[in-house]
Amino acid sequence: MGRSPCCDENGLKKGPWTQEEDEKLLHYIQKNGHGSWRTLPRLAGLNRCGKSCRLRWTNYLRPDIKRGKFSREEEQTILHLHSVLGNKWSAIATHLPGRTDNEIKNFWNTHLRKRLIQMGFDPMTHRPRTDFFAALPQLIALAALRGQLPADPDPPQQAGTTAAALAGLIGALCSPQLTLLDTTTTTTAAAAPPVVSSSSADDDAAHQYYLPRTTFPDAPGSGEAAHQRQQQAAGLISYGRRPDDDDGGDVDVFACYGAGGGGSSLPPLTDLSDDAATLLQVDTASSQFGSGGSIPLLPWPEFFPDDPFITDFL
């Protein structure tokens, strides 16, 4: 399997394309099709290698390319497909008409990947990171919520409080489960996994967070089937972004499926308060994000239940 030598040829231009080159390539392909990429540059009067021409065409000049910002739906699709396919950019691109694999790859590396990391998720596994420092933001939030960190730190007065906060962090590390529950979202613990939220780095304080328990409480009438569903889904995470009522932007919303059994690798947490347990017993059917409709918070392959591509891949 020899490597293509086309790019090693001397005297061929590299670097950014000029408008004149674009026009030559576009005009030639529109008239003749690309045919053999190796012979195309000579026939089109371009001092480029065929590979460079192919890339320019597929990533930029193709008439069906969609440009501009990725929509929230496209973000969702990329996140979900990446959780299934990994870095198979071309495969992911087949589900996003008008988007190129290169564009999706860039978008992932510059936006989505960073966002997951910021929130303490491993961008490759889509699961919470196992190292302590990755979970630190959540631990700090946890401790703050438990009244162990000052809302407005004031160093001269906080020596004792900080010690208590650290003690709280250590306690959290030794306890069953850590997650943060976004109370702005409603869900039913029995009928579906609880919606758990983390937030982007610019999280505002408008959302209140509660601490769910290790195994989610059974809602009335839920029974064993619901419990089994929880167990089956243990460890899976789904996520989305929903409009933020306060500032008009988006906030990240995560659903963390299950808690025990090694699904989540986040450090464990102490038991849940009764208040938080109550919060988990609300109706999923009414779960809406803002006024714009709901975001599907489903674990992957259910996200594309009838997609033969996914079915075949799995």
Partner DNA sequence: AACTCATGCAACCGCTTTAAA
Partner DNA sequence: CTTTAAAGCGGTTGCATGAGT
**Residue 36 or 291 having the CB closest to DNA:** 36
Binding residue (CB under 7 A) for DNA from 9, 10, 11, 14: 14
Q: Which is nearer to DNA, 103 or 182 (CB)?
A: 103
For tokens 């930029």, name the residue.
60
**Least spacing, CB of residue 91 vs DNA, in Å:** 6
- Closest to DNA by CB, 271 vs 309, is 309
> 180 Cβ partners below 8 Å, 6+ apart?
138, 141, 142, 196, 197, 198, 209, 210, 211
Closest by CA to 290, choosing from 185, 202, 197, is 185
Secondary structure class of 172 (helix, strand, coil):
helix
How many residues at the interface with DNA, by CB under 7 A? 39
Of 82 and 207, which CB lies nearer to DNA in the complex structure? 82
Please say whether the dihedral angle defined by the alpha carbons of residues 246, 247, 250 and 254, taken in this order, is positive or negative: negative
Residue span 36-75 as binding mask against DNA, x where in contact by CB under 7 A, dash where not: xxx---------x-xxx-xxx--xx---------------
SS (H, E, C) 103-138: HHHHHHHHHHHHHHHHCCEECCCCEECCCHHHHHHH
Q: Which part of the chain contacts DNA (CB under 7 A), choosing from 35-43, 133-141, 275-283, 302-310?
A: 35-43
190 and 219 in contact (C-beta within 8 Å)?
Answer: yes
* Category of 288 on φ-ψ map: left (φ > 0), alpha (ψ -120 to 50) or beta: beta
The radius of gyration of the chain's CA atoms, rounded to the nearest angstrom, is 25
Nearest-approach distance from CB 104 to DNA, in angstroms: 9
Q: Rule CB under 7 A: choose which of 2, 155, 160, 220 binds DNA.
A: 2
Q: What's the min distance (Å) between Cβ of 268 and DNA? A: 32
Task: Supply 11's token pair.
Answer: 């005297």
Min dist CB 101 to DNA, Å, is 5
For the bound state, the minimum distance from the C-beta of residue 98 to DNA, rounded and expressed in Å, comes to 13
Sketch the per residue contact string, 112 through 151, with DNA: x for CB under 7 A, - otherwise: --x-------------------------------------
Strands 209-210 and 195-196 turn out to be unpaired
**Contact indicator for 295, 185 with CB cutoff of 8 Å:** no
Closest separation between CB of residue 59 and DNA, Å?
A: 6
Question: Can you tell me the distance from the alpha carbon of 57 to that of 51, in angstroms, rounded to the nearest whole number?
Answer: 10
Contact between 33 and DNA by CB under 7 A: the answer reads no
Structure tokens at 210: 């509660």
Strand partners for 195: 255
* Residue 108 or 216 with smaller CB distance to DNA: 108
Footprint (CB under 7 A) of DNA, residues 76-115: 87-91, 101-103, 105-107, 109-111, 114
| Residues of span 259-298 touching DNA by CB under 7 A | none
> Smallest distance from the beta carbon of 289 to DNA, in angstroms?
23
Residue ranges in contact with DNA by CB under 7 A: 1-4, 6-7, 13-17, 35-38, 48, 50-52, 54-56, 59-60, 87-91, 101-103, 105-107, 109-111, 114
